Amino acid sequence: MKKIKGLLAAVMAFSLGTGMANADDALSAAQQEAVKELVKSYLVENPEVVIDAIQAWKLKQAAVQEEQQKQALAVLNESLKEDTTTPFLGNEKAQSVIVEFSDYNCPYCKRTFPGIKELLATDADIKIMMMEFPVLGPMSEYAAKAALAAHIQGKYAAFHEGMMDTGTRLDENGVLGVAQKAGLDLVKLKQDMNAPDVLKQLESNALMAQMLGISGTPAFVIGDQLVPGAMSKDKIKALVDESRAK
Distance CA 158, CA 89 (A): 10
Distance CA 113, CA 115 (A): 5
For residue 7, pLDDT beyond 70: no
For residue 190, pLDDT beyond 50: yes
Alpha helices in the chain (DSSP H): 2-17, 29-45, 48-80, 107-122, 138-152, 156-164, 172-181, 186-192, 196-212, 233-245
Task: Please tell me whether residue 124 adopts helix, strand or coil conformation.
Answer: coil
The length of the chain is 246
In this structure, what are the phi and psi dihedrals at residue 37, rounded to the nearest 5 degrees? -65, -35
| Residue 102 near residue 228, CB atoms below 8 Å | no
Task: Please tell me whether residue 191 adopts helix, strand or coil conformation.
Answer: helix
| Position 246 confidence tier, pLDDT thresholds 50, 70, 90 | confident
| Residue 212 near residue 73, CB atoms below 8 Å | yes
For residue 119, pLDDT beyond 60: yes
Q: For the segment 166-181, what is each residue's pLDDT rounded down to a tens digit?
A: 988 889 999 999 999 9
- Mean pLDDT throughout 44-58? 75
Mean pLDDT score across all residues of the chain? 84
**Residue 67 has what pLDDT?**
66
Asked if residue 218 has a cis previous peptide bond (ω within 30° of 0), the answer is: yes
For residue 69, pLDDT beyond 70: no
| Residue 204 near residue 198, CB atoms below 8 Å | no
DSSP letter (8 states) at residue 21: -
| Position 64 confidence tier, pLDDT thresholds 50, 70, 90 | low
